[in-house]
Chains A and B, each alone.
Chain A
Amino acid sequence: MHIPDSFLPIPQAVVYWLIALVFIALALRWVRKEMSEEKVPLVAVLAAGVFALQAFNIPVMMGTSGHLLGGALVAIVLGSPFAAVFVLSLVLIVQGVLFGDGGLTTMGANIINMGVIGGFVGYYGYYGLLSLTKSRFASAAGAAWLACIIPALAAALELTAAGTFPLVPGLIGMGIYHALIGVVEAAITAVVLGLIVSARPDILERVEGAPT
Chain B
Amino acid sequence: MISTRVLIAAGIALALVVGIGAVFFASSDPDGLDSTALVTQGQKELTQPANPGAAVDGAALPGTFEYSAPFAEYTLGGSKLADAGLMAAGTLLALIAVLGIGRGLKAFNRSRSS
Chain A residues within CB distance 8 Å of chain B: 1-11, 13, 28, 31-33, 35, 37-38, 40-53, 55-59, 62-67, 86-87, 90-91, 93-101, 103-105, 152, 155-156, 162-166, 169-170, 172-174, 176-178, 181, 196, 199-202
Instruction: Give A43 to B15 CA distance when docked, in angstroms.
Output: 13
Report the minimum CB–CB distance from B10 to chain A (whole Å): 8
In contact, A48 and B61 (Cβ under 8 angstroms): no
Nearest-neighbor residue (CB-CB) of B86 within chain A: A99
> Are A42's CB and B7's CB within 8 A?
yes
Q: Is the CB of B61 within 8 A of A164?
A: yes
Question: Are A55 and B97 CB-contacts (below 8 A) given A5-B64, A7-B58, A43-B102?
Answer: no
Asked whether A44 and B46 contact (CB < 8 A) given A4-B58, A55-B74, the answer is no
CA distance A95 to B86 in the complex (A): 12
Given A48-B16, A62-B47, A87-B98, 6 additional A-B pairs, CB 8 A: A43-B98, A48-B98, A52-B19, A52-B91, A166-B40, A181-B32
Q: By the criterion CB–CB under 8 Å, are A44 and B102 in contact?
A: yes
Please give, as numbers and ranges, the residues of chain B lying within 8 Å of A59 by CB-CB distance.
Answer: 27, 29
Q: List chain A residues, Cβ under 8 A from B32.
A: 1, 64, 66, 152, 173-174, 177-178, 181
**Max chain B Cβ within 10 angstroms of own Cβ: one of A86, A98, A162:** A98
A48's contact among B2, B33, B95, by CB below 8 Å, is which?
B95
Interface of B is mostly: helix
Q: Which residue of A lies closest to B89 (CB)?
A: A98
Residues in B whose Cβ lies below 8 Å from that of A55: 19, 22, 26, 74, 87, 90
Would you mind naming 20 contact pairs between A and B with Cβ atoms under 8 Å apart? A2-B33, A7-B37, A10-B65, A13-B65, A32-B105, A41-B8, A47-B95, A48-B16, A63-B30, A63-B49, A90-B101, A93-B97, A94-B90, A94-B97, A99-B90, A101-B69, A173-B36, A177-B32, A200-B1, A200-B7
* Number of residues from B at the complex interface, CB < 8 A: 70
**Residue picked from A28, A55, A91, most chain B C-beta under 10 Å:** A55
Interface residues of B in 60-77 (CB under 8 A from A): 60-74
